[in-house]
Structure 1
Amino acid sequence: MSASGLLGTPATKAWLAGMSVASALAGALGWRRNLRLQLAPNVTRDWQAWRLVSSLAGFPSLSEVLTALVLIYQLRAVERLLGTRRFASFLVVSGIVGQTLTVAGMLLARLNSVSSGPYVLLFACVHQFYLLVPHSYYVQVLGVAVADKWTVYATAACLLAPRLPMVAVPALAGVLASMVYSADVAGLKRWRMPMWVGNLAQRWIAPFLLPVSASRAGGIRRSTTPAPAVDVAPEQVDLLVGMFPDAEREHITSVLRMVGNDSNRAVAVLLDSS
């Protein structure tokens, strides 16, 4: 995972780092049981509501962590299309709605526990990826023509398959939470994380996520080498800014880069994400 591939996606970087650290600490300190969402006796009797949050923190096994890291990296396009603040807001909304739906699904299916891991967040992002990210070309897989996005779905399937059926409820809850968000139920799509949260993250978290390289003196310095970017014609950006006055110019530029400067596809993406 190159640093340049994560440029412009600070929320994705924070998610990758946070999930890795949480999973490692859970394994090293014997906290893996705290990553598991279990209704009785933890939630219903002992009122350990914090398990609804801790179950989204990480995975209990290294193989799951590695697969999830690859999947999150592939899903970074969602943050680029939504913008960092909106993507972070989407994760919060998906986590709350998704966990509520997970508990409801567990009660309906008479399940007392489900496998630990942020399946709700991951599959909410997979659904947004399906909706927002346009395909660039088709490839032949076992003689069948499929869109180039198939690798994301294949990775998601690899993460899901070993734990079925214990992950079916949270995965489905994540997709449903994304659908609720896209439908703007109760104005959830318009909610944004407070600016002060973003300012705190910018001050205390972002410096640790910047790419670094060794200095000639043997210390550490931030890399200042810019990553190559696709050229975007200013006229295209100006046209789309006029069509979408509420969208930030940087966001429109990012969308144009994602779709290879195709204005028609950019309009379709901006309409879906508005």
Structure 2
Amino acid sequence: MSFTNAPVTRSLVYGLIGISIGASLLDIKHYFYILVDLHLWQFHQIWRALIYQLCYTNSTEVLFAAMTLYNMRAVERMWGSRKFATFIFVTSLFTSWLVPAVLALFLRPLTLGLFNYLPAGPTPIIFAVLAQYHAMIPPIYKYKIATSTSTSTSTDDQTQGITFSDKSYRYLLAFQLALFQWPGSLLGALVGWMLGLSWRMEVLPRSLIRWRLPGWVVGMRTQGRSQEFEGLRRRLEGENGSTAATSGAQGQADAEGGRRRTMGQQVIDQFQGAF
């Protein structure tokens, strides 16, 4: 259990826990959630949209969010810290205004003011990362929970039941996080998931997807050194490709030569090599 090669995820987990505890100790939790009619329409507190994802106001939500982020640290390891930090930054910018806008301009009027509350917490960001985790990380193993008590000697494949994988409990944690303060938390989860899929399918502008934060944000000392490693990686890939092509051509030539020679010629070649 470690955050090896995942410094951005470590900062997210520690920051979320620290800010949530600080907001509770300082008694400022009431600044982080949004009531559309009161905070946005009456007092015009637009700044709440910029800070509502900084912390949770419930200790249970903090626990589930920290566990979910920790379980998804493999995304940063596969992407690299710089790309992952860029994804978190871009996602937070979109969700900071998109979720309150959908709630205030669409859901609240359609429900006649019933949907009016947006809870605090980075649930949209977590579900955007979860969309990447779902697409990138394959399950290691699967298991089935039988739902029938059949006494027939049927095979395991024919047994009626529900199939789970080692990733199922991670989805369960996130699903509970989306339902803690629904419908606001569920709205944030859906918007975050759709935004993560949009990034994955390159629906967003290509220039935005290819843009990266400066290297010093994630601890890179110099940009030149990262470019040096990138150039080394490309050269190694080129050498491996050329070596594989050469080996394949040589093996094909040897095979064709072996087909042309008779069995007696091959035996003579073996004795000539020995002497």
TM-score, structure 1 as length reference? 0.68
Among residues 191, 203, 224, which one is paired with 2:211 in the alignment?
A: 191
Confirm or deny: 8 A CA contact 2:53 2:96 kept in the other structure.
Answer: no
Aligned equivalents of 2:76, 2:241: Cα separation in 1: 23
Q: Please give the per-residue CA displacement for 1:119-173, whole angstroms capped at 9, x wherever unaligned.
A: 1111111111111111112122453222221111111122222322221211111
Among residues 70, 84, 93, which one is paired with 2:90 in the alignment?
A: 93
Aligned equivalents of 1:57, 1:242: Cα separation in 2: 46
Secondary structure at 1:56 match in 2: coil
Q: Which residue of 1 aligns with 2:129?
A: 125
Confirm or deny: 8 A CA contact 1:43 1:49 kept in the other structure.
Answer: yes
Q: Which has the higher helix share?
A: 2
Matches within 5 A, 1:232-251: 238=237
Secondary structure at 1:167 match in 2: helix
Matched, 1:180 2:198: yes
Q: Which runs of 5+ in 1 are unaligned?
A: 203-236, 244-274
- Shift, 1:238, TM fit: 4.7
Aligned equivalents of 2:11, 2:142: Cα separation in 1: 32
Confirm or deny: 8 A CA contact 1:91 1:121 kept in the other structure.
Answer: yes
Matched, 1:108 2:106: yes
Aligned equivalents of 2:26, 2:78: Cα separation in 1: 38
Q: Which runs of 5+ in 2 are unaligned?
A: 109-114, 147-160, 222-235, 243-275
Q: Which residue of 1 aligns with 2:167?
A: 149
Secondary structure at 1:97 match in 2: helix
Q: Percent identity?
A: 27
Q: Which residue of 2 aligns with 1:49?
A: 46
Q: Please give the per-residue CA displacement for 1:23-74, whole angstroms capped at 9, x wherever unaligned.
A: 0011111111112133344344544333223211111111111111111111
User: CA separation of 1:16/1:241 partners in 2, compared to 1, >3 Å: closer, same or farther?
Assistant: farther
Matched, 1:67 2:67: no
User: CA separation of 1:29/1:133 partners in 2, compared to 1, >3 Å: closer, same or farther?
Assistant: same
- Shift, 1:241, TM fit: 7.9
Bigger CA drift: 111-120 or 67-76?
111-120
Which structure would you say has the larger Rg? 2
Among residues 168, 182, 189, which one is paired with 1:164 in the alignment?
A: 182
Q: Please give the per-residue CA displacement for 1:82-102, whole angstroms capped at 9, x wherever unaligned.
A: 111101111111111223321
Among residues 126, 140, 146, which one is paired with 2:144 in the alignment?
A: 140
Q: Please give the per-residue CA displacement for 1:206-228, whole angstroms capped at 9, x wherever unaligned.
A: xxxxxxxxxxxxxxxxxxxxxxx
Aligned equivalents of 1:240, 1:197: Cα separation in 2: 33
TM-score, structure 2 as length reference? 0.68
Confirm or deny: 8 A CA contact 1:16 1:69 kept in the other structure.
Answer: yes
User: CA separation of 1:135/1:29 partners in 2, compared to 1, >3 Å: closer, same or farther?
Assistant: same
Aligned equivalents of 2:10, 2:39: Cα separation in 1: 31
User: CA separation of 1:161/1:195 partners in 2, compared to 1, >3 Å: closer, same or farther?
Assistant: same
